[in-house]
Amino acid sequence: MTTAESLEHQTRASLYIPSPARVIGVQQMTDLEVLLQLAFDNGRPLDHEPGQFVQVSILGVGECPISVCSSPTRPDHFELCVRRVGEVTTHIHKLEEGDVIGIRGPLGHGFDVAELHGKDILIVAGGLGIAPARSLIQYILDERERFGAFHLLYGSRSPSELLYREDLTLWRQSPDVNFHLTVDRPDEQWRGKSGVVTTLFKELPQLNPTETMVVIIGPPVMFKFVVLEVLARRIPQKSIYCSLERRMKCGVGICGHCQVNNIYVCLEGPVFKYGQLKALREAIE
Amino acid sequence: MLDRIILHSDLMGLVDELAHKRRIIGPVARDVPECDPPVRYFYEEVDHADQLDLSFNYCVYSPKRFLTPPAETLFAFSPDDEGLAGTPDYDPRPTVLVGIHPCDIHAIRLYDRVFDIEYRDEHYFARREATMIIGLDCRVPCTEGVFCKDMGTNGAEEGFDVMLYPLGTDGGNVRYGVMFGTSAGREWLLYSRQSVVPSDDDKRTFEKYRAEKETAFPFVLHTRREDLPELLSRSYDSLLWDATARRCYSCGSCNLSCPTCYCFDISDETDLTPGAGRRTREWDGCQLPDFALVSGDHNFRAKTASRLRHRIYRKAVWIQERSGRVGCVGCARCDRACTAKICSVEIYNQLAEEV
């Protein structure tokens, strides 16, 4: 490398180079989902907002965007729930404690927690949506005195696909959260509720429309049904948050893959106000 | 304002001197027998200025590949890195782009913005900052079907180091009026002493050139550029998208040929040595069917019509909203590149007549 070139490298920071993070724990949650605990070697926290995501790198395979599923109030490490769906995630599933992977981020906009402070909170999560929701759930539980009533509804396709089983037990027993759970397709052992997540709305007490903030995270098909239930309880659109899934590649608002109309989800999202989204025609379809 | 006058032969001499320090990129004539006429022009790297043909009408592709190449390495990695990526791969080769028309200069100005809105992409700027631009103004439209006048891009006041205005000929030698765009451009030209101060005659010729240019370019769109956002805001549900999509092959030729398209994909290449390879980026196109496909096989723009509409909205409205710079420069390269003869001007005009 010439002097000019090395100078060039010192003064230019590439957006695309990941930082190394070490796997400090691996937990197989279901056939498809693994929970990774990660930490940077120098001990620095990820310093994220609940709802933000990171780009996970397996060098030689590629990158994929994954929501952070732990709260910044637990800064000694961060957690990612990864579903095995493609090449990169298949490699992530082979990771063991001590392995090092690349992380870019935190990226995007998460939940504006300052706006949620002092409010009653309703979180509705479907399927893998419980992962990004968990970063906020943990935050609320850790900062409990800053919030009013806290309701959590979680719908899963089947009992075998339930994520965070230890957390579910904890939440069910906790006086700090009014938690309800349902599965679409119960098996013979299932003793809980069955039906889609919207059937859980009948478990909720009267919600105060001016004091309740609602967070909806789930597969695309879920959004409109849940939004309908929420609006029917007279909660204004500005009090509804949604988190969107898109194909993020660069994660920094350039490459175009996650663009919905004129919005780059990786920059302005993945967390949006419903009011922002309903004007975007491709956002919830 | 006209800063200097230089003859073509002197200018080419200066470009040759630059070749010691910079790679020279400019218009080169190529025989393409299946085309009529068979000569087409391409921006290519040359060793000597006499290989350039500044009398070209238009170049088939814009010079964008010299600023953001079709494929480039972002960084390389090796098995010793243990998850730690190696150093970024920048390409700060000194370069000069010669004979860049105003439309393409506007497209480069757009890149200068979009690669530095929220995050600064140093891979782009390493190249950009090492690149000198010698613009060449268009006296008349380069070919039929262009709508640069409509888009306000048939002239450029900035975005170049020097701009050349072909004011006439002097014994077979083109006489260029020169406008400086940067201090680097000014220093380069003045250092050589080949150029002269414009005479009063030159200034009058330049005024006449500009006046004639006003009428030489036709308006092609049936709507004003400023009205495109309003027009499109009423056209989202038009059946024209579906009707046009019937002809579209989703081949992405429009993206490839567009000087303002900059979307890309990121992927890894591996070497035979385990653990060694590089992360690369390649041009991608929003017209390709799987551009908005996410894991779980959900495609947010699965229909050809929705992809077609996305491209037109980006060009006419969204890029401008985001960057403050014009998203379509009216060069009509997409229209010429389209196998199915889908024409953006026709789309705008049909929409204008619908409402």
pTM: 0.93
CB contact (8 A) between residue A17 and residue B322: no
CATH 2.40.30.10 residue spans of chain A: 3-107
- For residue B31, give the H/E element and its range: strand B23-31
Contact of B55 with B41, CB cutoff 8 Å: no
Sequence ranges of chain A with CATH classification 3.40.50.80: 113-243
Task: Measure in Å the smallest separation between the Cα of A8 and chain B Cα atoms.
Answer: 8
By Cβ distance, the residue of A62, A86, A257 closest to B295 is A86
SS3 label, residue B77:
strand
Q: Does the beta-carbon distance from B83 to A64 stay under 8 Å?
A: no
Chain A residue with Cα closest to B291: A257
Residues in chain B: 355
Quote the CA–CA distance of A31 and A15 in Å, as a whole number: 34
Which tens digits make up the pLDDT trace of B228-261?
999 999 999 999 999 999 999 999 999 999 999 9
CA distance linking residue B96 with residue B79, whole number of Å:
38
Q: What mean pLDDT do residues A69-82 have?
A: 97
State the residue for tokens 């490839």: B256
pLDDT digits (tens, 9 = 90+) for B102-137: 999 999 999 999 999 999 999 999 999 999 999 999
Q: Residue A281: is its pLDDT beyond 80?
A: no
Arch. (CATH architecture) of A3-107: Beta Barrel (2.40)
Q: Give per-residue pLDDT as tens, B260-287.
A: 999 999 999 999 988 889 999 999 999 9
**Mutate which of B91, B279, B310, B322 to test chain A, going by most A C-beta atoms within 10 A?**
B279
ipTM at complex level: 0.89
Q: Which residue of B has its CA nearest to A22?
A: B83
- Is residue A280 within 8 Å of A246, Cβ to Cβ? no
The amino acid that residue B317 corresponds to is: V
Q: Under an 8 A CB cutoff, do A249 and B264 touch? A: yes
Residues of chain A contacting B299 with CB distance shorter than 8 Å: none
A133-156 pLDDT per residue, tens: 999 999 999 999 999 999 999 999
Dihedral of the alpha carbons of B34, B37, B38, B39, in degrees to the nearest 10: -140
List, as ranges, residues 140-199 from B with C-beta within 8 Å of A.
none
CATH class of A113-243: alpha beta
A263: which 2 tokens?
């919005």
Query: pLDDT at residue A4 above 70?
Result: no
Rounded average pLDDT over A117-124: 98
In chain A, residues with a C-beta closer than 8 Å to the C-beta of B235 are none
